[in-house]
Amino acid sequence: MEEIELLPQALREQSLSEQEVVLPYHEALDALELLVRARWALLGWEGWVKYPDGRHGHPPGGVMGTESIERETAETWESYVQRSARFCVETINQEQQAWDVNPGNAHLILYFCLTAAPPEE
């Protein structure tokens, strides 16, 4: 199962990708919450933009996002899920706030591509 399959149809339809979770700010946070409820650990996120003409891809100036969030030695799965989610929420919030105050970004919509790992059995 892929991350995108855990989302309700309304969120899936807003994703810029049929295979990946690529959503605007508020919807990305909603998706993140759903992934955590399903016990999926967040491996990180990557910034995408949607241009006025409908094209989408990485933001001007290069790729933004997180390094891979690794599970720590002796960390329980549940602790890893919670820690990775907190880090992603914090960094997504920071990135969106920085994006919003940059007037050069006014014509672009920032999206977040979430990558997650399924629960351990």
d(CA 114, CA 121): 22
Q: Which tops the pLDDT comparison, 61 or 109?
A: 109
61 — pLDDT class (breaks 50, 70, 90): confident
Quote the pTM value. 0.93
pLDDT at 1 over 90: no
Q: Which of 75, 92, 97 is nearest to 35 (CA)?
A: 92
115 — pLDDT class (breaks 50, 70, 90): very high
pLDDT at 12 over 80: yes
Phi–psi pair at 32, nearest 5 degrees: -60, -45
Determine whether domain 3-117 maps to CATH 3.30.190.30.
yes
pLDDT at 84 over 90: yes
At residue 98, the pLDDT reads: 92
100 — pLDDT class (breaks 50, 70, 90): very high
d(CA 28, CA 34): 10
CB 5 within 8 A of CB 81: no
pLDDT at 106 over 80: yes
